[in-house]
Amino acid sequence: MTDIAKAAGCSQATVSFVLNNTPGIKLSAQTRQRVAEAARALGYRLPAPTRVMPRRSPVTMLDGVIGFMVDQLATSPEAVVAIEGARQASWNAGNVVLVAQTMNDPVMEPRAMEALKAQHISGLIYMTIFTREIVAPEFLHALDMPVVLLNCYTADYAFPAVVPSEIAGGQSATQHLIDHGHRRIATITGEPWMQAAQDRLEGYRRALATADIPFDADLVIEGDWSASAGYAATVRLLQLEQQPTAIFCQNDRTAIGCYEALKEAGLHIPEDISVVGYDDEEIARHLFPPLTTLILPHQAMGQWAIEQLETPAHQAGGRHPITKLECPLVERGSVAAVKGDR
């Protein structure tokens, strides 16, 4: 919607109203046509005209209200994006999503569960902001309803779980730079205790190994996901006797700091050095040049969770394999062929 809004010369809210045929919104026919034409020009398929949908499918396991528990809601956009994916997937069947933030508090989390149960929920999505293995609270095992884990999983695979395919994402980001002729590729990681940072680094190393590029520990700088860490790490990389020709920043906020350090050093992106981010936050589209990055598939994960809750076979029990959803690469303007290969 952001891309369509830019092309159509209107706000993202206007695009949303047009594409969703929102009732009660007075928009001119010209505005609606301009948005539709911009969407088609960008290769998007417009939704079919709104039609009355049955409240729910005959095979659904859900009945009106779905609970959504998340440990942190306000610290990053991932939870909101996942909730929106769940809402989109559930509304056509007439289901409402109720959200509770728990902060993993051992006292308040069970109370939040009781509050959701009082609303007669028929299924529960349990989410963590940081991708990780969890020990499922006892109340999850005691629920007489389907439960799906989002962005987390348990060692015993007791519940269906969905996480981003982070190793493949790190490999894809690095491979994209290799495909442009880069062989001296640096990476700025997140905090090493986090699984996302570990997996993205593993993907980076796999891409190098596949291309027969030796791993160089000097090109791996530990960060903390922040812009300031990205700036400091980039300064360190530029002090190396042999500077990198490309930098894989393991999130977009790190890339913001990386951009600033490169520009202060008088380097141009991507002519002198290429940069790839990760997460596809809103800011990635507005950097100069726009940042090539990878999408964290939290919206698709929310939709997947609803589909699992609606599957009758879900209640059969047993072990459930972890589902990993692809992190698609979004090519923008921050990557070019290495100098000498153009």
Q: How many Å apart are CA 79 and CA 222, to the nearest integer?
A: 25
**26-67: per-residue pLDDT in tens?**
667 777 888 888 888 888 876 655 443 343 343 345 668 999
Judge whether 52 lies within some domain: no
Question: Mean pLDDT, to the nearest integer, of 12-25?
Answer: 72
Based on the structure, what is the number of domains in the chain?
3
Highest mean pLDDT (candidates 13-17, 74-78, 139-143): 139-143
Q: What is the pLDDT of residue 57?
A: 40
The reply to whether 139 and 223 lie within a common domain is no
**96-151: per-residue pLDDT in tens?**
999 999 999 999 999 999 999 999 999 999 999 999 999 999 999 999 999 999 99
Judge whether 170 lies within some domain: yes
The reply to whether 155 and 301 lie within a common domain is yes
**203-232: per-residue pLDDT in tens?**
999 999 999 999 999 999 999 999 999 999
Judge whether 337 lies within some domain: no
Residue 245 has pLDDT above 80, yes or no: yes
CATH number of the domain residue 231 falls in: 3.40.50.2300
The reply to whether 123 and 170 lie within a common domain is no
* Cβ(93)–Cβ(64) below 8 Å: no
269/319: higher pLDDT:
269
Residue 163 has pLDDT above 90, yes or no: yes
Percentage above 70 pLDDT, the chain: 90
Range of the domain at 17: 2-41
Distance of CA 326 to the CA centre of its chain: 10
Q: What is the pLDDT of residue 103?
A: 93
Judge whether 58 lies within some domain: no
The reply to whether 177 and 287 lie within a common domain is yes
The reply to whether 170 and 291 lie within a common domain is yes
Judge whether 59 lies within some domain: no
The reply to whether 157 and 117 lie within a common domain is yes
The reply to whether 135 and 178 lie within a common domain is no
The reply to whether 175 and 287 lie within a common domain is yes
Residue 80 has pLDDT above 50, yes or no: yes
Q: What is the pLDDT of residue 312?
A: 60
The reply to whether 148 and 259 lie within a common domain is no
State how beta strands 96-101 and 124-133 pair. unpaired
Question: Mean pLDDT, to the nearest integer, of 258-275?
Answer: 98
Q: Among all chains, which residue has been given the structure tokens 């919206």?
A: 299
The reply to whether 314 and 246 lie within a common domain is no
Residue 198 has pLDDT above 80, yes or no: yes
Judge whether 331 lies within some domain: no
Q: What is the pLDDT of residue 38?
A: 85
Judge whether 141 lies within some domain: yes
Question: Mean pLDDT, to the nearest integer, of 153-174?
Answer: 97
The reply to whether 291 and 170 lie within a common domain is yes
Highest mean pLDDT (candidates 6-20, 70-84, 243-257): 243-257
Judge whether 51 lies within some domain: no
| pLDDT, mean over the chain | 90
The reply to whether 179 and 249 lie within a common domain is yes
